[in-house]
Amino acid sequence: MPNHLANETSPYLLQHADNPVDWWPWSPEAFAEARERGVPVLLSVGYSSCHWCHVMAHESFEDELSAAYMNEHFVNIKVDREERPDIDAVYMEAVQAATGQGGWPMTVFLTADAEPFYFGTYFPPEPRHGMPSFMQVLEGVRTAWAGRPEEVTDVAQRIVRDLAGRQLDYGKAGTPGPGELSQALLGLTRDYDEARGGFGGAPKFPPSMVLEFLLRHHARTGAEGALQMAADTCEAMARGGIYDQLGGGFARYSVDREWVVPHFEKMLYDNALLCRVYAHLWRATGSELARRVAVETADFMVRELRTAEGGFASALDADSEDPVTGEHVEGAYYAWTPQELRQVLGERDGDLAAALFGVTGEGTFEHGKSVLQLPPGGPDLDAEQVADIKARLLAARADRPAPGRDDKIVAAWNGLAIAALAECGAFFDRPDLVERATEAADLLVRVHMDGRARLARTSRDGQVGPNSGVLEDYGDVAEGFLALAAVTGEGVWLEFAGFLVDLVMTRFTAEDGSLYDTAHDAEQLIRRPQDPTDTAAPSGWTAAAGALLSYAAHTGSEPHRTAAERALAVVHALGPRAPRFIGHGLAVAEALVDGPREVAVVGHPQDAARAELHRVALLGTAPGAVVATGLPRAADGSGGEFPLLGGRTLVGGLPTAYVCRHFVCARPTSDPAELAEQLGAVSP
């Protein structure tokens, strides 16, 4: 019998709609039910592509005895963390404060006032490795609730007071400058894994935002060490099992330090961020590997994540059905044995593929299977042979049961994808990618904005979701619109970005310039979330700072620039101490220190000379440079679609580029080589 989740739109919640657990969505009605019955709330938070969320669901939430106990003694609430990152952030902070660690599924027990009093993540069905069983936890909480209610209430209230005392105070820190950025680089150097690339030990996550900072720092300062760390890490990841050697795209993280065995789920935000990083690495170095990975990752997003409505789905699961056993196991879609390669390719080519991709008899993964890599020293095959082997294996893999797809559209992550696809399309002469970016942007405007005074967080099947956007949605979507404006020369995207950053200033900003993750009029939780750290994706705080800064560079708006500078005070405070956790903020700070530069390219849209100048402008490596192109704009504001085009005229009747800082410009030029020298660019 369906529970209260049957009418939800989240794929994750719908996965639990037929559980014997009487799940509720997060709602006032659920807490009213707990208050009326006099029982605690069991809050379970996860997401669709989370491996351990599925494990706990199969072990406990589909178990009739566990479900019966949960239904009798608790009101059970299930939350999709991707739909409600605010709820996830508030209670994850409590979990981490209490236990020293966090993760998903997250399991929290609450009072009817939503105050937490007991925490955990995954609990097994029987005691294991020092962990109590899930049933032991349920019984212990129920006993405490029934026998010591005053003590439970006191603990919950104390935790809420402790969380309230954790308010950030970064508004008074100074604006980051060259000194803080140099200190951040030094800190990253200490954590850098010289032998394997990346930072820290296992599990090892792709440091996409730190890589962007390193590329921008090199562009501004010429620091070769920064470029080397970025290039070596990108090559190590691209050759490792974390990268899908057949279909393109990156898995969430590597379970080892060598990038060999991934946690196989593929997230839209990882791939959007890394696609852009590899494109920017190519722009800085001309690396063929960087170009290939950027294009393959863009093609992966379009091929496997694009929805019928033109947006991009959130993720692909780590698990899929093993074609031999029929069980759902992690990595079944991606791993190979030497014999499986021979079955597809024949004896000779199968052995070549095994050598090429590091597939061994012992295996690098489970059950004698290997995750495909590109280790150095493989067979001497030309590009055509490699492409043929990959194509045949990819076709054979398509016959395997595919991982599930979480097809909800998350506004923030689609903003990241729009920026990546627009730039890849421009860099690599792929107008189809620009079209896909434009279609996704149209979806966000049509469905997620649609004349509202705010941005919706999610949609699915063309229907808007019930939750308002959080700060990261506003910042990342604005960033996507700004990138699309630069590539297409269509000023409407600058206008939409301006609408979003204005809402950031009026609805998310504190008096001291710090930023909150939720709007002033959002649902009141036990704490208003406020997290500036960049983890798997840019924090809302740093994403908004970047969008504010770029919009100010486009328009000359001092209020927007001031808001960006005040928000970046957090980078001044955290950059030298914790650079790995403020990577996007550091990248935005590089743009601030460099200007950022404003580039205006004027000329007729059909003029090939203007198109060449525009391409060179987009290929410039100056950190965070903004680009506008179009017809000259008259003094009365008519003509060109961008404020940067105001007063910019053709020189000698030829298309002309202007490179400026704070609207003070260098000598205008019609020479692409001179423009490239002014900006720094890889040869097209």
Using a pLDDT cut of 70, give the percent of the chain over it. 97
| Tens digit of each residue's pLDDT (9 = 90 or more) over 277-319 | 999 999 999 999 999 999 999 999 999 999 999 999 999 999 8
Residues β-bridged to residue 312? 306
Q: What is the mean pLDDT of residues 461-480?
A: 96
Cβ pair 174, 163 in contact under 8 A = no
664: enclosing H helix or E strand: strand 664-665
| Tens digit of each residue's pLDDT (9 = 90 or more) over 345-356 | 999 999 999 999
pLDDT band for position 207 (50/70/90)?
A: very high
How many other C-beta atoms are found inside a 10 Å radius of the C-beta of residue 33?
A: 18
Distance from C-alpha of 159 to C-alpha of 595, rounded to nearest angstrom? 44
pLDDT band for position 487 (50/70/90)?
A: very high
Peptide bond before 11: cis, by omega within 30 degrees of 0?
no
Please report the beta strands in 384-462, taking only residues with DSSP state E, as ranges in sequence order.
405-410, 458-460
| Tens digit of each residue's pLDDT (9 = 90 or more) over 349-405 | 999 999 999 999 999 998 899 999 999 988 988 899 999 999 999 999 999 999 999
396: enclosing H helix or E strand: helix 383-397
pLDDT of residue 683 exceeding 80, the answer is no
- Token pair listed for 502: 């204005």
Distance from C-alpha of 600 to C-alpha of 595, rounded to nearest angstrom? 15
Which 3 state secondary structure label does DSSP give 426?
helix
Q: Which residues contact 441 (CB under 8 A, 6 or more apart)?
A: 418, 480, 481, 484, 493, 496
Predicted local distance difference test score (pLDDT) of residue 95: 83
How many other C-beta atoms are found inside a 10 Å radius of the C-beta of residue 401?
A: 13
Q: Which residues contact 607 (CB under 8 A, 6 or more apart)?
A: 655
pLDDT band for position 102 (50/70/90)?
A: confident
| Tens digit of each residue's pLDDT (9 = 90 or more) over 416-444 | 999 999 999 999 999 999 999 999 999 99
pLDDT of residue 169 exceeding 80, the answer is no
Look-up of token digits 């000023």: 491
Q: What is the mean pLDDT of residues 9-23?
A: 94
Look-up of token digits 């599930």: 404
Predicted local distance difference test score (pLDDT) of residue 637: 55
Angle between helices 411-427 and 268-285 (to 10 degrees): 30
pLDDT of residue 194 exceeding 60, the answer is yes
Cβ pair 19, 8 in contact under 8 A = no
Using a pLDDT cut of 90, give the percent of the chain over it. 82
Q: Give Cα separations from 554 to 251, 513, 529, 549, 599 (angstroms).
A: 35, 21, 30, 9, 9
Predicted local distance difference test score (pLDDT) of residue 24: 96
Predicted local distance difference test score (pLDDT) of residue 682: 45
Cβ pair 57, 16 in contact under 8 A = yes
pLDDT band for position 154 (50/70/90)?
A: confident
Q: β-strands 116-120, 262-263: how paired? A: unpaired
Cα–Cα nearest to 530, from 29, 90, 229 = 90
Cβ pair 113, 40 in contact under 8 A = no
Residue 76: which region, alpha, beta or left (left: phi > 0; alpha: psi -120 to 50)?
Answer: beta
Which 3 state secondary structure label does DSSP give 382?
coil
Cβ pair 300, 244 in contact under 8 A = yes
Predicted local distance difference test score (pLDDT) of residue 627: 98
- Token pair listed for 407: 């097809």
| Tens digit of each residue's pLDDT (9 = 90 or more) over 496-516 | 999 999 999 999 999 889 999
- Token pair listed for 298: 């863009």
Look-up of token digits 């010591």: 148
Q: β-strands 313-316, 106-110: how paired? A: unpaired
